[in-house]
Each structure stands twice: as structure tokens, then as C-alpha cells.
Amino acid sequence: MRRVVVTGIGAITPVGNDARTTWDSLLKGKSGIDLIKSFDTSKHTVRIAGEVKDFQPEKKINFKILKRLDRYAQLSLWATMEAVEDAQIDFEKYDRAEIGVIIGVGIGGLIIWEAEHTKFLSKGPARVSPLFIPMMIPDMASGYIAIHWGLRGPNYTTVSACASGAHAIGDAFRAIKYGDATVMVAGGGEASVTPFALAAFSNMRALSRRNDEPHKASRPFDKDRDGFIMSEGAATLILEELEFAKARGAKIYGEIVGFGATGDGYHMTAPAPEGEGARRSMERAMKEAGCKKEEISYINAHGTATPLNDKFEAKAIKDLFSGYTQKIVINATKSMIGHSLGAAGAIEAAVSCWSIRDSVVHATVNLENPDSECAGLDIVRDTPRELKINYVLSNSLGFGGHNASLCFKHYSD
């Protein structure tokens, strides 16, 4: 089987419009959660979210193209442009039939959907935009990214709620490993902070209602957590077959060595009791990676700050790593950027790679009163921790019982 490495990363998140700013902000403990600025929330119960700030896509993307892409696809294209530049790869020099794209999206073009549906109700069917369908469907991020560079390898979108981005990276890893591609553009994007979506998530009691303390609202593993914070963003990783990457002199962030995917088969929104599905997902990723539980240095937890997720993810980790949990460092990126749904797994995969590169793990903010049901885990608090990382797991767990775990390794020949 062929080995797969990460050679480029791009990101746009509530704490930074590029990879470097995002990573620096996370290391500083900066929160991107604030009162929503993009629409009037006066009639909403929840009025906070993690919005991307000062996004000016026209700086990189042609205006004619922007008019044909919903915000979620714009964010993914933006992150991909940065990832390609970071990887210093000129696709035109290589066989583009060997280069594919898989971008995970949890929902898709909600912004255009809400706008056009309102137009349909107020002005009639004749006024609905002919661009509505291609702008709304979730696969257009993958589709347009491939069109932009003329890439003709495997191309599709994974839609598995909050696990979408991780599934996309896992599938891309396998495509290279099994010989279906040489290079894959993989990640996730989402832009679902909209009036309708905010109301829907709020009414199902999934969101934090800590409107008076936005920066403190996302509280993974804290006993006072009361729900997740909706957010938006995108991250893209460039994955390459190892020998191809070495031949062109690419820098390497780390190696992706395992992918675990399981289903709960239990409930539409609640995780399986005791975190059984999450445990098997991590176990499968480690099995493919060929690593033992004592070799895992760090876990980037799904850590949504919902009562059941944190409790059962903690249980899954303690069950799988019994006897070793105090030797594994854990954090939750969502404590600062909120939950970007389909983009979350990709952003957290990027964080895992940055942690490997820099030998440091960012802190989990707002963990002031650790939940006793999550006790027994070494969760990084207050300040970043320097750590020489060997293997890292990144977990993503989605509505519908979708579980995905990615295993990255410090690269060595």
C-alpha cells in the first residue's frame, strides 16, 4: 500500500482568514464567538455564533465566479487556494487525471436556499434564479474546485453531518493509498449561520443560549455547558503519495496513516450509549495505522459542548485507552471557533497537523468547572502545552450516528 502525506493546508475560520492567523489565534486562546452581525437576531432565542470576519472573496476570486457560488463554496475555494499555494504545487505540470477533489459539506447552500425560497413565496416561481440548483447542492464545492484547476481524478462530496470533513479526508487518503489518485484535494466547508438554520437548531435545544457571554459560551467538557455554538468556515488539505511528494521536493506536515468510520445505528441526534460508536471509530483508525494505544500522544476531540456528546466521547476514550488516558493529551478546538458542522473535521485535521509540526497543543478555553463524568482525561486548559507528538487522533461525530476518526503521524522515512 502507498503512503500518504499532508503537504499543504489552507483555512478560514472565525478566528482567522488564513491558516497562520487561525493557528496563532488558537494558540493565544482567542475566541471567535460573538453576537451575530450578518442578520437581525432580535426575534431569535440564540443570538451568538462563530462568523468569519471581514471575508472579502473578491480579493482572490473573480466576481463572475462569486455570483455563481454560495458562501459555503466560496469559503472552500478560498481555503483551497491557500492550500495549493502552501503546497507549492503547480497542477498543470502533472497528470490532472491523477488529481482528485473530495470536499465534505454538512448542509450546503443554505444562504441561497433561504433567499430564493423567500423570493419564490413573495414574487412567484418565475423569479427563482436559474442558478439556484447549482448554487445550493452540496457537491458544488468539490465540483467547482475541480473545474477551477481542471482536475479530473476522483471527485465527489461527503455528506455526513458533523463528520463530513473528516470523511472527505479519510476517503481521499484511501484513494491515494489504494492507487486511485496520486494527489487529492480534501477538506470541508460550511456556511450555515442563517436565520432559518439558527432557529431550527435552537428549537431542537442543541445550541448554547449564553448570549450575554459569547466568548464563554462554548464550554466543552465543562459541567456548565449548555449546547454548541453554530459557526462557519473551511479547511483544505493537500494529500500526496509519499514518493510523488518527495520527488517534487514538497514539505511534509505529517503522514496520514489511519481512518476509522463507524455508525451508531441508534438515534437521529443522540450518540450511542457509552460512546460505543466513537470508540470503534478510533479503534479502527488505530488498527489501520498499525499503532498501539500507548503510542497515541494527542486526541483532538469532537468536543461540541453538548451534554451527551462530551460525556460519551469521554467514556469512549476512557474505555479504549484504559490505563493510558493520563498519558494522552486532549483538547477541543470548538471551544474557540464553535461548531462549523461539515467543516469541523477538516479544520480539526488541520489543527492536528499544525500540532505535529510545531510540537504544541492549544488549550481548551472555558473549561472552568470540569464535569465529573469526563474526569480521568488530561484535557489541556489555560495555556498551550508543548508536546512531542508521535500519533494523533482527530474525532468527528455527526447527527445520524456517523463517526469518523483520522490518525496522523509525525513523518519520518
Catalytic annotation, residues: 162, 302, 339
CB 330 within 8 A of CB 377: yes
Inter-residue long-range contacts of 272-276, CB under 8 Å, 24+ positions, other chains counted:
272/312, 272/401, 273/312, 274/312, 274/315, 274/316, 274/319, 275/312, 275/313, 275/314, 275/315, 275/316, 275/317, 275/319, 276/316
Concatenate the DSSP letters of all residues of 167-215 into one string: HHHHHHHHHHHTTS-SEEEEEEEE---SHHHHHHHHHTT-B---TT-GG
Look up residue 142 and give its three cell numbers. Answer: 468539490
Cβ burial of 137 (10 Å; 0-12, 13-18, 19+) is middle
- Tell me how far apart the alpha carbons of residues 288 and 257 are, in angstroms, rounded to a whole number: 7
From residue 340, give the alpha-carbon distance in Å to each of 27, 129, 273: 19, 27, 24
Inter-residue long-range contacts of 60-65, CB under 8 Å, 24+ positions, other chains counted:
65/144
Look up residue 338 and give its three cell numbers. Answer: 464553535
CB 201 within 8 A of CB 207: yes
The contacts of residue 370 (CB under 8 Å, 6+ apart) are 221, 222, 223, 379
Length, in residues, of the chain: 413
Look up residue 212 and give its three cell numbers. Answer: 450575554
- Tell me how far apart the alpha carbons of residues 328 and 294 are, in angstroms, rounded to a whole number: 8
Which of 366, 410, 324, 33 shows the shortest CA–CA distance to 223? 366
3-state secondary structure of 232: coil
Residue 314: half-sphere exposure toward Cβ, Cα within 13 Å = 26
